[in-house]
Amino acid sequence: MTVRRVVALAAAVVCATSVITACGSGAAPLPSDTGPAGSLLSKAPVGKNLPASPTLDRIRRNGHLTAGASDTSPGFSEKNPLTDDYQGFESDLTQLLAKYLLGKPAVEHVGVTADTREALLQNNTVDVVISTYLITPERLKKVSFGGPYMNLGQALLVRKGTTGIAGVNDLNGRKVITTAGPAVEALKKAAPNAEPVVFQTVSQCLQALHDGRGDAFVNNQAVAIAQAKKDPALEMLSFTYGASMYGVGLPKDDPAFTRIVNDFFTEIEQDGLWKQAWEDNVTPLTKAPAPTPPPVGDLGITPAPAPSASS
């Protein structure tokens, strides 16, 4: 009997014999036993002699890893409306991490946005956030990061039929739609004479692109890949610029758990599971081979010092 079936049977017994609200929410949906995800998980390592950690203790008490995730990022983390299973590169990494911590790929997903990730980690609503989480000095004041596990450039979406943008220099003199924050700074650095048209959300940006309020929409490759797949009126250009580190958001006050997560990434990169997860999910969309993951533990930046009491 597989792990999935064992856990499913146990959950059914608990739901039938007691009143526990988590049962109705499908607290620990497990992946299919077959297909690429099942093949990946069958080879997943289980961590041994893990150090003491408050976060790990909570995960073990709950019997599942509670992970902040996106529901709508094809290729990276997308919820299947028919099965409620999560699919994608980041979803596979989350299930691999759960098996490393618990011996089984039991995950409860919690939807997160760019505005809620730090708060959900700080109040322990989630144990980790694996959701295209850009590492910045400002965020390192509030949370810790495991990994990094991918290094993404900035990619552009345009309306199909758009011509004249063959490289980043062609953005100069054009209106370029983007979200507030790091994407704007990356655009100003790469194309100083481009005119940023800034919105708060990706959906607002895409509507503006459709309306013709800009020539292109720029964001990280994960967002561009996902939106190009969902919207046949748009296409992703073939070049990228810049590169930034993306990691697993973790509680700030648990350095032992950060070391556990980093050891996990080192192991799955060495045994080829990271590469397999990328090729199962992202390569079919980009038609490009898996890149080399960034060095584990090298966040690429130094945390900004916390403000002093007198400032």
pLDDT tens for residues 242-254? 888 999 999 999 9
Q: pTM score, two decimals?
A: 0.79
Residue 228's SS3 state is helix
Instruction: Read off the tokens for 41.
Output: 């998980």
- In terms of pLDDT, which residue wins out, 263 or 3? 263
Phi and psi at 214, nearest 5°, equal -165, 165
How many Å apart are CA 33 and CA 94, to the nearest integer? 16
* pLDDT score recorded for residue 302: 60
* pLDDT score recorded for residue 202: 83
* pLDDT score recorded for residue 303: 53
- Per-residue pLDDT, averaged over 162-188, amounts to 92
Does residue 7 contact residue 27 with C-beta atoms inside 8 Å? Answer: no
